[in-house]
Amino acid sequence: MDFKVIDKKFEKFILNIRDYFSDKNAEVLFNKRNVVKVLDYDGSKYVVKSFKIPHILNRIVYTFFRETKAKKSYINSVRLDKFAPKSIAYIEFKKFGLLYDSYFISEEFRYDFTIREPLLDSSFQDKEKIFKAFANFTYQLHKDDVFHKDYSPGNILIKKVDDGYEFKIVDVNRMVFKTMELDDRLDNFSQLWAKDSDLEIIIKEYSKLANLDSDVAIKKALKYSQNLKDRKNFKKRLKGKKVVD
């Protein structure tokens, strides 16, 4: 067993996380490859992500050669601080000397919607204001040398606060911290799978903040966005799946 906790008051919770996680009454946020639940502990709610048990080769790799996804999530969220829900702990369990199950725990961020909703709903209330606020959030991320490698709509949480919006990113184990070139920054928006008209609003606002030529930035961002759509749709066609514009 390996674990790290931000405060000793959480140790009982973390060390018994398997029991807490097995609570059938817990709210389930996600249940596919990994499972994410909201758990109650000592009067507060926490989000716990249980990572899929790796196959044998990856169990060896994560035990001896590479940090686990749970540990990276913890380390990255501590580094991200103001951009992600507060990190509480991670814990890893071993079986026959190799990594088995692992968990990452953070404070709950009770959001109202993700960026997906305004991207998909043309009549979404306050849509343009949200996109401009999102552009500012992304600019602050990039300014702080944060490159989220899975900057997809479901990983961008939004809460309405007063007359504005608060953003947080999740699924933070796949992060790179580096000074980014312009192309890296604009390519980061491609995973939104946004309509061209929506992406133009976002990039135009981003350009103002970053002091960029907006025409050049928009052209590059649209190119990267379309390139990603083309690649993913090509793979879908090969598998006989429905293509999404």
SS3 (DSSP) at 185: helix
Q: What is the pLDDT of residue 135?
A: 98
pLDDT score of 32: 87
| Residue 34, helix vs strand vs coil | coil
Residue 173's pLDDT is 93
**pLDDT of the residue at 238:** 73
Mean pLDDT of 160-178: 95
- What average pLDDT does the segment 224-244 reach? 82
Q: Which two tokens stand for residue 77?
A: 């969220």
Position 245 scores a pLDDT of 67
DSSP type of residue 83? G
Q: Give me the DSSP letters along 54-70.
A: PPHHHHHHHHHTS--HH
Q: Which residue shows structure tokens 């953003």?
A: 167
Burial class of residue 33 in the structure, from the number of CB atoms within 10 Å of its CB (0-12 exposed, 13-18 middle, 19+ buried): exposed
pLDDT at 17: 97
- Determine the 3-state secondary structure of 97 from DSSP: coil
Q: What length is written for the chain?
A: 245
CATH numbers and ranges of domains, the chain: 2-107 (3.30.200), 113-238 (1.10.510)
Q: What is the mean pLDDT of the chain?
A: 94
Percentage of the chain with pLDDT > 70? 98
The answer, yes or no, to whether residue 244 has pLDDT greater than 80, is no
* Confidence at residue 227, expressed as pLDDT on a 0 to 100 scale: 95
**DSSP bridge partners of 161:** 164
What three-state secondary structure class fits 146? strand
- Please choose, from the candidates 143, 189, 142, 141, the residue with its C-alpha nearest in 3D space to the C-alpha of residue 169: 141
Classify residue 91 by burial, with Cβ atoms within 10 Å: 0-12, 13-18, 19+: buried
